[in-house]
Amino acid sequence: MQQLGAFRIPLEVIPFSLPLVFRQVRQMAGNRSCEQRMQEGQPVLTDEGNLVLDADFGMLDDPAGLALRFSEVPGIVEHGLFVGMTRRAYIGTQSGLRILETPA
């Protein structure tokens, strides 16, 4: 069985809520780390002017539950867990196209 958790989860955060989001995400069960994404010494901003955090929860036993917990934190605009949004993903790699599908 394949399992999510090999990469950190991006969180889009409204800037004024940063201290609250840090506190709440770091207190969540399973959290290993939560850091603000920086590039060349500057915070990374989304197109909407929001900040990006990277949260490490290791291998995820319950991605849907974690997605729900993220959605309940005031100040998190979006997260990188796109649970239940699609049944097929097309991934471009150096060796070609890879298609991942969930059972019908």
Nearest Cα neighbor of 34 from 19, 53, 18 is 53
Q: What is the DSSP letter of 58?
A: -
| pLDDT beyond 70 at 2 | no
pLDDT for the residue 3: 67
What's the pLDDT tens digit per position in 13-28? 999 999 999 999 999 9
pTM: 0.82
CATH number of 9-101: 3.30.70.260
| pLDDT beyond 60 at 6 | yes
What's the pLDDT tens digit per position in 48-94? 999 999 999 999 999 999 999 999 999 999 999 988 888 888 889 89
Q: How many CB atoms lie within 10 A of CB 60?
A: 18
Give Dmax over CA atoms of the chain in angstroms: 45
| pLDDT beyond 90 at 101 | no
Domain ranges for the chain, please list them: 9-101
The strand ranges marked E within the chain are 9-13, 33-36, 38-39, 42-43, 51-56, 76-79, 88-93, 96-101
